[in-house]
Amino acid sequence: MNDKKESAEQKRERVRQEELKKNPTGNMNDSFNKASGGGLVDLVGSLGWKGTGLLIVIIIIGVIIAQFFK
C-alpha cells in the first residue's frame, strides 16, 4: 500500500492538531462547547494536559467545598 496517502480521518486529525499547536489558549472555549455535544475525550483532547490538570483540581476543590456545606 502507499503510505503517503492519508485517509480523510487522518487528515482531519492532523489539521486539528496543527490548529491546537497554533492557538492553545483560544481552544478552551471550543473545548467546553465540544463537551456539550461531544464526549469527555474531546474535552480532554482539546484542553491538553495543563488544562486537564486544572479541570481536575477545580473539581476536587469543588467537592471539598461541597463537603463543608453538608
Average pLDDT over every residue of 32-43: 63
pLDDT interval class at 10 (50, 70, 90): confident
**Has residue 29 been placed in a domain?**
yes
**How many domains are contained in the chain?**
1
**Has residue 19 been placed in a domain?**
yes
**Has residue 1 been placed in a domain?**
no
**Has residue 2 been placed in a domain?**
no
pLDDT over 50 at 42, yes or no = yes
Buried b (16+ CB within 10 A) or exposed e, 10-47: eeeeeeeeeebeeeeeebeebbeebbeeeeeeebbbbb
pLDDT interval class at 43 (50, 70, 90): low
Q: Of 68 and 24, which is predicted with more confidence?
A: 68
48: left (phi over 0), alpha (psi -120 to 50) or beta: left
pLDDT interval class at 3 (50, 70, 90): low
Cell of 59: 473539581
Q: Which domain holds residue 49?
A: 8-68
**Has residue 24 been placed in a domain?**
yes
Predicted local confidence at residue 1, as pLDDT? 45
